[in-house]
Structures are given as structure tokens and as C-alpha cells.
Amino acid sequence: MDTPHEQLSLALAPVEPFALDYFVSHSGVCEAARALEQAAHEVAGEHGCFRILFIWGPPGSGKTHLAAGCRASALKSGYPAMSVRLFCADASTEHESQPEEQIGGGGSFIAAYDEMKAGGGLIVITSRRSPGESTANPHLTSRYSAGSVLKVAYPRDDELQPVLASLSERCNLRLSDRSMQYLLHRLPADPLSFVNIFKRINEISFAHNKRAGLGVMREIFARKQP
């Protein structure tokens, strides 16, 4: 007899190394994906070249996926000396002494900006808001807007299933067709970050020893969102 844990993959940690292979380039992020790829090639191919890209859009539209995938691809592209720094502009940015929450790297954003502008490299910033809305600090705003500003959107309804299937695969998590259809039905009405959805599936499944089925899906969407 199958146990609840046997209905799940036993290793639900994200597949490493992260790669754009797990990312479905839907219509809402195609322009940003091309810009990231072009910027990475330029920076890797020209010593001292500096590029900055600001990617913004609603939660779950693919911003973090793009940024993390770009960094991983750059690190394994044969250019180990290429510097890639990732930042999230959604944390407090009122003062430089309160640097943004970072996806990767260390130090404040302005320090990284000045360092990489002098020595070359690629900075990718993600945010739910446009550069002017992300901070009241004019020094940050000017730097945010110094490069390419790219707005991304949710995938179309007909593109959602492969996006979710890709994230499911990356999390080593198998969802039934009914569970997938439930997610597809609920997401447009209650959009959450796709990554957070799968994180919650894992948490609830293991915390309560539940199979990752419709019951877990309903519990995720019934909970009050932060």
C-alpha cells in the first residue's frame, strides 16, 4: 500500500544548478529574456563592458526565474571571470544604509553599481514596481533607470500549463492532472508567485504528511495571503 510520502518525490529541493532550461519563455517575458541574453554576451565578450537591466512586473510573472537563470547560465558559459550581480528592489530603499534584499551577491547596490561600472559586469534588478516607484531615493532611481527597463507580464492562459509543469519538474514534484487543472483555474483569479505556490505545496505536504493533491491545493488558496 502506498504511503503519502511515496506519492511524492523524496527530494523536493530545487534542481541544481539552476538553468534557463527549466524556464518556459512565455510571451510576457520574451523581450526580457532576449535582452538578458544579449547583455550577458556583450559583457562576457568585451573586457570592462558594463550593463544594467531593471526587470519589473507582478508576482509570478517570471522575474526571479529570469534573473537566477541568467546568473547560472553566465557562470557555466565558459566566462568564469564575468561578474553578475542580482538585486531585488522591493525591500526598503529609502537610504543606502538599508540596502535592497539581494537575490545574490553582497554589499549595497550603489557600491556594486560603482564597482562594476568601473570594472565591468552585469547587474540585474527585479521589482514588482517600476524604477520610479521602487524608491524615493533619487540616487537609486537614477541608477535603476541608467540601463534597460523591461516590464514583464503574466503568461497568457494557454501558456500557463507548460510554465507550471516546468516549475513542478524543477521542484521534483509530480502533480496530478486534476491538481494542475485546479491551479490553472485558480491562478488568474488569485495570482500568486508561482515559485511560492510550489514552496507552499512542499511545506504543507511534509508538515501534515499529506499527498500533494487537491486537498493541499485548496488549503494553499484558502489561507490568507501575507
Burial of 12 (0-12, 13-18, 19+ CB in 10 A): middle
Reduce the DSSP state of residue 97 to 3 states and report it. coil
Beta-carbon count within 10 A of 117 CB: 15
What average pLDDT does this structure show over 62-74?
75
pLDDT of residue 47: 82
**Is-above-0.85 flag for pTM?**
no
Q: Write down which residue in 151, 181, 202 finishes a domain.
A: 151
Residue type, 40: A
What distance in Å separates the CA atoms of residue 120 and residue 225, rounded to the nearest whole number? 40
- The maximal CA–CA distance of the chain, rounded, in angstroms, is 63
Does residue 87 form part of some domain? Answer: yes
Residue 184 sits in which domain range? 156-222
pLDDT of residue 100: 38
Q: Write down which residue in 106, 132, 151 finishes a domain.
A: 151
DSSP E strands, the chain = 50-56, 84-88, 121-127, 148-151
Asked if the bond preceding 138 is cis, omega within 30° of 0, the reply is no
12-16, 70-74, 113-117: which has the highest mean pLDDT? 113-117
HSE-CB for 122 with a 13 A CA cutoff: 27
HSE-CB for 118 with a 13 A CA cutoff: 5
**Shared-domain flag, residues 138 and 112:** yes
pLDDT of residue 6: 40
Reply yes or no on whether the pLDDT at 136 is more than 90: no
What average pLDDT does this structure show over 118-146?
89
What average pLDDT does this structure show over 133-149?
89
Reply yes or no on whether the pLDDT at 52 is more than 90: yes
What average pLDDT does this structure show over 135-143?
87
Which ranges of 59-151 does DSSP label H, i.e. alpha helix? Answer: 63-75, 109-119, 131-134, 138-144
- From 184, 210, 172, 192, select the one nearest 61 (Cα to Cα): 192
pLDDT of residue 157: 85
Does residue 212 form part of some domain? Answer: yes
Does residue 211 form part of some domain? Answer: yes
- From 126, 221, 144, select the one nearest 179 (Cα to Cα): 221
Contact criterion met (CB below 8 Å) for 173 and 198: yes
Does residue 142 form part of some domain? Answer: yes
How many structural domains does the chain have? 2
Does residue 12 form part of some domain? Answer: no
